C-alpha cells in the first residue's frame, strides 16, 4: 500500500494539488521560516531556493500580511488563488541580508517575530550559546548533572553530534534562571571563552534595520524577551517575558497592532495561561511551530507549515496537502526534541 507521501507524489502533479487547493481554499497557509544563507545547510535555507519559492508563490498564490490573511479567511468571498502568509522567527540578521531584499523584489509582506533581548541587548539566544560551547571543541572537566541526567566527560566527547539536541530537549523544560545557571556551569566546566555578544553566525538584526523593514511592509511581531519556553515558567516570569517584549517593541518601533509567536512553539510550550497572557497583552494573534487539524481556529495557537530546502514538502504545504492530511487523517507536525535524542 502507498504511504501518504507516495500517494501525494503520484497524484499531486496530475490534478491532486489543484484539488487539494480547492478543498482547502479558505485556509491561509502560514509558512514558517527561520534561518537563511547563500548556500543553505546547517538548518538554513539557501537564497536560491528562497527565490524559487517566492517566484512560484508570486505566480500561483496571494501572499498577504498575517492580518490581511486572517481577515480574508473570515470573509465568505472565496479568493481565486489560495492565501499564503510568510512568517520568520527569532530576529537573526540573515533575514535582513537574504530574505528582506527578495521580499522587496516580489513585493511581499511578511511577519518577523523577534526576541527583544536578543535584538536590543546584543546577547546570545540561549540555545545558540549552548551550540557555540559544544562546537568549540570543548571538553568538560567533570560530570555535568542536569536534574536526573548525568553527562560524563566521556559522553560529552563521544556524542558531539547529538549533544546539542540532547541538552536542548532537557533545558527546554526549565526556567530561565535554571537555563542560565547551566550555561554558566558549562562555561566553567569547559573553560570556554564565550564571546560577550553572538558571533557572526548567530547575530541579530538591529533596531534601525527593524525600523527600515517595518516601513517596508514587514510587520515586527513579539517572540518574548529571552526565548525561553513559556510552558515552563512561573506566572510572573511569563508575564515579564510577554509584557517586556511588547513594551520594548512599542518603545523602539512605535505602538501598533502586533502578532506573537511562542518560542519552541510545540503543544507543551503553549499553555492556556500563556495564551491568556499574550491575548491580554494586546497581541492580535499567536502562532505555533507545527500544524494540526485545528488549523487557525484558535487565533492564539495557529498552525504553521515549516519550510526547508525540499521542493516536495514546500508544495505539500502551499497547495494544502498538509492541511488535508491534518483534516482527514489527523496528521500533525508536532515535534519532540526528546524523541529525536532519547534522554539517558
Ligand atoms: Zn524561535
| Distance in Å, CA 135 to ligand 1 centroid | 20
Q: Is the pTM of this model over 0.85?
A: yes
| Distance in Å, CA 44 to ligand 1 centroid | 14
Q: Measured between alpha carbons, how far is 141 from 203 in angstroms, rounded to an integer?
A: 29
| Distance in Å, CA 91 to ligand 1 centroid | 8
| Distance in Å, CA 81 to ligand 1 centroid | 30
Looking at residue 138, its pLDDT comes to: 79
On whether residue 87 sits in a domain, the answer given is yes
Q: Are residues 275 and 152 in the same domain?
A: no
Q: Are residues 95 and 151 in the same domain?
A: no
Looking at residue 168, its pLDDT comes to: 94
* Grid cell in block for residue 231: 510552558
Of the residues 190, 219, 234, which one is the last residue of a structural domain?
Answer: 190
| Distance in Å, CA 85 to ligand 1 centroid | 18
| Distance in Å, CA 263 to ligand 1 centroid | 5
| Distance in Å, CA 17 to ligand 1 centroid | 30
Q: Measured between alpha carbons, how far is 106 from 95 in angstroms, rounded to an integer?
A: 15
On whether residue 228 sits in a domain, the answer given is yes
Q: Per-residue pLDDT tens for 255-268? A: 999 999 999 999 99
| Distance in Å, CA 226 to ligand 1 centroid | 10
Q: Are residues 331 and 234 in the same domain?
A: yes
Contact 305, 57 (CB under 8 A): no
Q: Are residues 131 and 159 in the same domain?
A: yes
Confidence of residue 116 (pLDDT cuts 50, 70, 90): very high
DSSP letter at 96 equals: I
Domain span holding position 135:
126-190
* Domain CATH code at residue 9: 3.20.20.370
Q: Are residues 108 and 209 in the same domain?
A: yes
Q: What is the CB neighbour count within 10 angstroms for residue 49? A: 17
Q: Are residues 155 and 236 in the same domain?
A: no
HEC string of 30-66 equals: EEEECEEECCCECCEEEHHHHHHHHHHHHHHCEECCH
Of the residues 134, 166, 190, which one is the last residue of a structural domain?
Answer: 190
On whether residue 196 sits in a domain, the answer given is no
Q: Measured between alpha carbons, how far is 21 from 11 in angstroms, rounded to an integer?
A: 13
Q: Are residues 217 and 100 in the same domain?
A: yes
| Distance in Å, CA 12 to ligand 1 centroid | 32
Please state which of the ranges 21-25, 92-96, 213-217 shows the lowest mean pLDDT.
Answer: 21-25
Number of domains in the chain: 2
On whether residue 198 sits in a domain, the answer given is no
Amino acid at each position: 500500500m502507498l504511504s501518504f507521501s507516495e500517494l501525494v507524489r503520484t497524484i499531486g502533479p496530475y490534478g491532486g494539488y489543484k484539488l487539494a487547493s480547492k478543498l482547502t481554499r479558505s485556509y491561509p497557509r502560514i509558512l514558517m521560516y527561520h534561518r537563511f544563507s547563500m548556500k543553505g545547510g546547517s538548518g538554513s535555507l539557501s537564497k536560491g531556493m528562497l527565490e524559487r519559492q517566492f517566484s512560484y508563490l508570486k505566480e500561483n498564490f496571494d501572499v498577504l500580511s498575517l492580518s490581511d490573511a486572517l481577515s480574508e479567511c473570515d470573509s465568505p468571498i472565496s479568493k481565486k488563488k489560495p492565501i499564503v502568509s510568510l512568517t520568520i522567527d527569532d530576529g537573526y540578521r540573515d533575514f535582513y541580508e537574504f530574505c528582506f531584499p527578495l521580499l522587496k523584489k516580489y513585493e511581499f509582506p511578511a511577519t518577523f517575530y523577534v526576541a527583544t533581548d536578543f535584538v536590543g541587548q546584543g546577547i546570545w539566544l540561549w540555545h545558540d550559546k549552548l551550540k557555540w560551547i559544544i562546537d568549540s571543541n570543548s571538553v568538560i572537566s567533570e560530570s555535568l548533572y542536569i536534574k536526573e541526567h548525568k553527562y560524563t566527560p566521556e559522553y560529552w566527547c563521544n556524542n558531539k553530534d547529538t549533544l546539542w539536541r540532547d541538552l536542548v530537549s532537557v533545558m527546554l523544560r526549565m526556567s530561565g534562571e535554571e537555563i542560565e545557571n547551566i550555561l554558566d556551569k558549562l562555561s566553567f566546566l569547559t573553560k570556554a571563552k564565550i564571546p560577550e555578544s553572538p558571533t557572526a553566525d548567530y547575530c541579530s538584526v538591529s533596531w534601525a534595520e527593524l525600523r527600515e523593514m517595518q516601513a517596508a511592509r514587514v510587520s515586527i511581531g513579539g517572540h518574548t524577551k529571552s526565548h525561553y519556553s513559556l510552558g515552563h515558567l512561573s506566572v510572573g516570569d511569563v508575564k515579564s517575558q510577554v509584557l517586556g517584549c511588547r513594551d520594548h517593541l512599542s518603545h523602539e518601533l512605535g505602538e501598533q497592532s502586533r502578532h506573537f509567536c511562542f518560542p519552541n512553539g510545540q503543544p507543551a510550550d503553549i499553555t492556556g495561561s500563556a495564551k491568556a497572557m499574550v491575548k491580554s497583552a494586546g497581541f492580535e494573534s499567536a502562532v505555533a511551530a507545527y500544524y494540526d487539524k485545528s488549523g487557525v481556529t484558535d487565533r492564539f495557537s495557529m498552525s504553521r507549515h515549516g519550510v526547508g530546502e525540499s521542493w516536495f514538502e514546500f508544495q505539500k504545504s502551499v497547495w494544502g496537502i498538509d492541511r488535508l492530511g491534518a483534516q482527514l487523517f489527523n496528521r500533525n507536525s508536532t515535534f519532540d526534541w526528546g524523541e529525536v535524542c532519547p534522554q539517558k
